[in-house]
Amino acid sequence: MKNIEFSTSLDFKLKGNFIELNTALDIPEKSKAYLMESDWAYPTVFDYFPLKDLLWLFSAMMLERKLVFFSKNLYLLTASLYAIQLRFSKYSNSNLAQQFHLF
Amino acid sequence: MIFNLPDVLFPLCDAPGAALIGINKGEDFLKNSGLFEEYPSCIFVCLDEEKFYLEKTPHKEIPALESFEKALLKSYHKINSNLMKRLVDANKSPNYIPKPKKIKYTSNNDDKNNCIEICQVFKEKLHEKLISFIPKTPIYQDAEQVSLNIPFRFSKILES
């Protein structure tokens, strides 16, 4: 398997029944790795959720509540989970890790 | 975090601690399966129906983060100008039918830059309001002292 490194471009092929698509994913530098989803998940989620709702969900996460999302739209479901997890939990954890000089 | 929880693993909703779970079904399924009654500690958010199910008890109120809202409002307004809440409480409005909303599947450079700006403002606010209050070195860093010495632990906590 190809090594994935920061500040590089990851080229890959998507094979469908009728088409074959060559595409690339830009991987930002380490300090901005949390912005990787700004291409697809964040615009969808920020456009869908008003700020009040997003902060309400963040507040619930900070209280360690269990959040269960229902949606028939898999794209919206995945983007919501991705954005909330990265922006709120994992992202804040990575800051904590930096604060504690863990990496 | 579980992106799409299969039916057989629904008891995970009862797991201790925080969890972020996705279920690729609609509100009808939530109503018919009785998940809300079975797992009242969870907050169920139906994205398509724009509703949330939350057990209302005084000690389980979710606080509003007004300082975050003030800081993010300007940059967020560039993407989403809706200032009102979209999600409604299903207990208060069980028959609420949302207006059809187009989901944004594509984005341009402006959207991307706006998202980065929001994330950066959020980062600064999170640092100011939360992370700056956390001690820079772990309180149990001294390896020799890391033991079940309860009075020592309490003294360290009080110091910090």
What residues 36-55 of chain A have any CB closer than 8 A to a CB of chain B?
38-40, 42-44, 46-53, 55
Which pLDDT does position A89 carry in this prediction?
47
The answer to the question of residue B53 being in a domain is no
> Which of B135 and B5 is assigned the larger pLDDT?
B5
Which pLDDT band holds residue B134 (cuts at 50, 70, 90)?
A: confident
- Stretch A78-87: mean pLDDT: 80
pLDDT band, residue B148 (cuts 50/70/90)? low
Which of A93-102, B41-50, B80-89 reaches the highest mean pLDDT? B41-50
- Whether B26 is covered by a domain: the verdict is no
> Is the CB of residue B77 less than 8 Å from the CB of residue A50?
no
A102: contact with B, CB 8 A cutoff: no
What is the rounded distance in angstroms from the CA atom of residue B49 to the CA atom of residue B152? 52
Tokens of residue A60, six digits: 């619930």
Domain count, chain B: 1
Chains A and B: how many Cβ contacts under 8 Å?
192
Residue B159 has pLDDT above 80, yes or no: no
- Lowest-confidence pick of A10-19, B4-13, B66-75, B87-96: A10-19
Write the DSSP assignment of chain B as a string of letters.
-BSS--GGGGGGGG-SS-EEEEESS-HHHHHHHTHHHH-TTEEEEETTTTEEE----GGGPPPP-HHHHHHHHHHHHTT----S---EETTT-TT--PPP--------HHHHHHHHHHHHHHHHHHHHHTGGGS-SS-TT--GGG-SS-HHHHHHHHHH-
Complete DSSP assignment for A2-52: PPP-TTEEEEEEEE-SS-EEEEEEEE--GGGGGGGGGGTHHHHHHHHS-HH
Region A3-29: mean pLDDT is 78
In angstroms, rounded to a whole number, what is the distance separating the alpha carbons of residues B22 and B45? Answer: 9
Residue B17: pLDDT band (50, 70, 90) is confident
pLDDT of residue B21: 93
- The domain limits of chain A are 1-35, 40-103
Q: What are phi and psi of B145, to 5 degrees?
A: -90, -10
Which of B10, B33, B65 lies closest to A57 in space, CA to CA? B65
B23 inside domain: no
B152 within some domain:
yes
The answer to whether residue B143 is domain-embedded is yes
Condensed to tens digits (0 to 9), the pLDDT of residues A40-80 reads: 788 899 999 999 898 888 888 888 889 999 999 999 999 99
Residue B24 forms part of a structural domain: no
| B42-68 tens-digit pLDDT | 999 999 988 888 887 655 677 778 888
> Is pLDDT at B160 greater than 90 in this prediction?
no
Q: Which residue has the tokens 């969890």?
A: B19
Give the mean model confidence (pLDDT) for residues B103-116. 85
Q: Categorize the per-residue pLDDT at A97 as very low, low, confident or very high, splitting at 50, 70 and 90.
A: very low
> Which residues of chain B are within 8 Å of residue A60 when distances are taken between CB atoms?
43, 62
Strand-pair partners of A67 = B20, B43
* Enclosing domain of residue B153: 135-160
| Crossing angle for the helix pair B109-129 and A91-99, to the nearest 10 degrees | 50
Do the domain assignments include residue B112?
A: no
What pLDDT does A77 receive?
92
| B154 lies in some domain | yes
Q: Kindly determine whether residue A100 and residue B48, on different chains, have CB atoms separated by under 8 Å.
A: no
**Residue A32 pLDDT exceeds 90:** no
Closest Cα in chain B, distance from residue A86 (Å): 10
Helix pair A41-48, B109-129: axis angle to 10 deg: 80
Q: What's the pTM value of the predicted model, to 2 decimals?
A: 0.76
Whether B111 and A43 lie within 8 Å, measured CB to CB: yes
Query: How far is it, in rounded angstroms, from Cα A83 to Cα B34?
Result: 28
